[in-house]
Structure 1
Amino acid sequence: MVERTPGDGQIEAYLLREMKAEIDELARSEVDDVTKFLYARAREFYWTVTRLVGLGRLHDGVWRKPGGDAARAWRTALAGDIPAPATRARLLVDMTATHRTIGRTGIQRVVREIARAMVESGAAIPVFMENGRLYSHFAHANLPDEVTPAAGDKFLLLDAGWHLTAEYSQMIDKVARAGGETIGCLYDLIPILYPSVVTHSAHLAFVEWFDLLVRESDAIVGISKAVIDDFAVYARMKSLPCKRGLQLGWWPLGADFRAPGDAAPSPRAIAAVEGDRPLYLSVGTLEPRKGHAIALRAFDRWWEEGADVRYVIVGSKGWNVRALERRILEHPEFGQRLFWLQDASDADLRYLYERTRALVFPSIAEGFGLPLVEAAHFGARAIASDIRVFREVGGEWVSYFAPGDSEALLARLKETLAAPPAAPACDILSWAGSAEALAGLLRTGDYPLRLDEAVEAR
């Protein structure tokens, strides 16, 4: 890990418990050891071969691959008037991975919101790659269909295209030969710092992409200062081959996601809220680092003590959580006081945020913690792990507990019943404001740090 904190021991103990639970879950399956071994080897062979022949998207979550004019047919039409973007020294915002997928992860939400805000303000042209060329993601009379890199352009790698390293390598080279710059974007270093919480495939893809980012970026921006601090320390520890005088910056994310005010929540979301029981909400993909098992352990204890409260999890099933999935689905409170909404819409999420007693965010590692600011935007308090980035984002209005400690979390939960709900006293940034902050940083080049300065400062 980059930096040891007092909670690291508790985090490591939690990860070991979850790893053991996964191993035990695998042992439960009615498959003999030879079959298990052959399956594991076949899966590793599949990962390796598909990546070598450029088909890593088949297992990395990209569901659509362009062929011919197909990718351009997926462009998003913009209605109404928008400013014409600059014709020189343009900001080209890459969103290739998001363009090719229909998923709605936290990173994809950031990409979509920043891209739309920037194109609507005229600050940038969101683009996607296809066969070594760039095209505008949005279709509008004021936007070009194809974008050819030129001198003075800045190519921002906003998307999480870890599985597209070969394509990015070619495009970065094309931008450089045209006289442009590449700005890397970091959401976190979790696949490197906590490799046990991601799949082997995701770890390999991230490392390959990260190596390219380190070598070729003229500047790197992060979604929090904590992310940039982690990067600076890691770069020093590993003597990464960054460009001399590499500039570093960060910007805050927005909270006002686009959920139409007249959009109705689903029956499942309504059912999770019905009644007078206080509602507690966790938002995030079901994966080890998100800490859902920590929260469920706290609620189990609370229910045993006689508390009549509800716990709602919003997020799709991720990886390495088969044991936790079984625990949730076979839980005696499932459908009564425990709910799991895997395909919640933005309308569902808004409905739940507006009615929750508190957001419960037990994650052990994050790059920002978007649910914190989303909850605050809708007037909900938050209980979160006491990790550095949450202190940066949540400040004093969040109630913190020691990471991985379900008893400490339970104490914070009980406090929410002892005192009436109060709206968080904090400043919430809109996505338009977030996009403006990022565009301003890139436009002026007024980065707060250089890599060598950041390392010396620590």
Structure 2
Amino acid sequence: MDISRLLSRARNPIPTGIDRVEYEYARYLLAHEGHRLTFVAFHPAGLIAQVGTSAVRDFLDVMGPVWDGDTGLRARLPHMAQRLVQTVLLSCWTMPAYRGDSIYLLVSHHHLTRPRAIAQFLSRHGSLFMPMVHDLIPIEFPEYARPGEPERHERRMATVARLAAGVIVPARAVAQSLAPYMQGRPAQKHVHVVPHGLHVRLSGQGAGTMRFPADGRPYLVCLGTIEPRKNHLLLLNLWRQMVKETGSRSNTPRLILVGRRGWENENVLDMLERCPALRDNVLEYNDLSDPEVVTLLQGSAGLLFPSFAEGFGLPLAEALVLGVPVACSDIPVFHEVAGENAIYLDPTDGPAWRAAIERLLKQERGGDTSAKRGLHLNLFNWPRQVALGVQAADQTAAFFHSRSSHGL
């Protein structure tokens, strides 16, 4: 398994969704597949080679608590990651060339733009390549991407199409988007839909360090990086309108934005920083730990998720598990995740969102039964989902090794 993304994110104490995916796969494999597990990583020199299992375990033992809010451990992570990356160059020349039923698992998009390095690794070790494709959003919606990102993502998908034996995707919607790239390729019939799990078992912890106003005003949450694709501008304009209509900030519910500031978002930032009506009515938090996010969601009137496009939608799944009402965009992947358990809205229909917000504020929270939450917890259980991903990789490998043994 490749852990390059986790090493590259050692200076970031707040994980993204893809960070969490790679972490949970690494943790599961350590616990359940250690007898056949080798960790590898990419070096900027264009090499992929082994990193020590015990050193990776130590790294993950620090990274998990840091993500859960342990600030005392933050300074250790970058040094641990640097030492691990440095070992790649040495092990490149000492790592034995494993021949046989080996699988190279890459569950992030890290270094998919470096096909030569991946191809050389696969050739040397006789491995089958099993990447995870999280989404094709930069290609499908280039207007929401950073400059140059659509072209980079095209190169990533070309690498997957040329080198992969199979692919894991988090949703059927992603599989459909990927299908044209897989046409006539070896992985065409080996695209496996494996939804992500969730990290919500820390529910209720971390409350002692909460930084939110305790004045009793109701609030709703929007969770995700502040970037155009997430459609924060819709919500900010609605909140400005609500303040104008009520004539009083204290009579307006709060909107709490959780997520780091991204790119191409000048209009949103201008409103956050300069609009008087939003002051104290819209709060922004860029560095909340996982337990703080869970506690914040549990106390809210609901989650607002007006995104134009998503590959999965972890905040939506998290809200389902916690029994938090949701209003979200009417896009196919959200229907996959939430079924009938969300309010679906056109992401451009401001009046409909205003009505949904008022509905959430009036809604009682007693309708979600413990049995229903248990069903969602089972659906989004991380060990279960990783086990399905490993099973998909093994099934793909078995198919290709069977063909090889028969000379096909």
TM-score range, shorter chain: 0.7 to 0.9
What do you get for the CA RMSD once the two structures are aligned?
A: 2.8
Aligned-partner Cα distance in 2 for 1:113–1:297: 37
Aligned-partner Cα distance in 2 for 1:244–1:437: 18
Structure 2 vs 1, CA of residues 347 and 216 (structure 1 numbering), >3 Å: closer, same or farther?
same
What SS class does the counterpart of residue 132 from structure 2 fall into? strand
TM-score normalised by the chain length of structure 1: 0.69
**Counterparts in 2 of 1:364-375, with a 5 A limit?**
364-375=308-319
Aligned-partner Cα distance in 1 for 2:42–2:181: 29
Is 1:438–2:392 an aligned residue pair? no
Is 1:118–2:32 an aligned residue pair? no
Select which of 194, 202, 216 maps to 2:149: 202
Aligned-partner Cα distance in 1 for 2:189–2:290: 38
What displacement does 1:241 show?
A: 6.7
Q: Is the 8 A contact 1:119 1:125 kept in 2?
A: no
**Counterparts in 2 of 1:161-310, with a 5 A limit?**
161-162=110-111, 165-166=113-114, 168-232=115-179, 234-235=180-181, 242-243=185-186, 245-257=188-200, 259=202, 262-264=205-207, 266-268=209-211, 270-271=212-213, 274-306=214-246, 308-310=252-254
Q: Which runs of 5+ in 2 are unaligned?
A: 59-86, 399-408
Select which of 72, 96, 101 maps to 2:9: 101
Structure 2 vs 1, CA of residues 213 and 336 (structure 1 numbering), >3 Å: closer, same or farther?
same
- Counterpart residue identity of residue 106, structure 2: L
Q: Is the 8 A contact 1:251 1:438 kept in 2?
A: yes
**Paired position in structure 1 for 2:41:** 128
Q: Which runs of 4+ in 1 moved over 6 A?
A: none
What SS class does the counterpart of residue 131 from structure 2 fall into? strand
**Counterparts in 2 of 1:371-390, with a 5 A limit?**
371-390=315-334
Aligned-partner Cα distance in 2 for 1:212–1:119: 27
Map Cα deviations across residues 285-339 of structure 1 (whole Å, 9 max, x no partner): 0011111112222233333332520100000010100121111122224452210
**Paired position in structure 2 for 1:346:** 290
Aligned-partner Cα distance in 1 for 2:205–2:255: 26
Structure 2 vs 1, CA of residues 245 and 388 (structure 1 numbering), >3 Å: closer, same or farther?
closer
Structure 2 vs 1, CA of residues 244 and 349 (structure 1 numbering), >3 Å: closer, same or farther?
closer
Q: Is the 8 A contact 1:279 1:356 kept in 2?
A: yes
Is 1:322–2:240 an aligned residue pair? no
Q: Is the 8 A contact 1:169 1:212 kept in 2?
A: no
TM-score normalised by the chain length of structure 2: 0.77
What displacement does 1:376 show?
A: 2.0
Q: Is the 8 A contact 2:328 2:345 kept in 1?
A: yes
**Counterparts in 2 of 1:372-451, with a 5 A limit?**
372-422=316-366, 424=368, 425=372, 427-428=376-377, 429-445=380-396
Is 1:359–2:303 an aligned residue pair? yes
**Paired position in structure 2 for 1:5:** none
Identity percentage over the alignment? Answer: 25
- Counterpart residue identity of residue 7, structure 2: H
- Counterpart residue identity of residue 139, structure 1: A
What displacement does 1:197 show?
A: 0.5
Aligned residue pair count: 346
Larger helix share, 1 or 2: 2
- Counterpart residue identity of residue 150, structure 1: R
Aligned-partner Cα distance in 1 for 2:57–2:186: 38
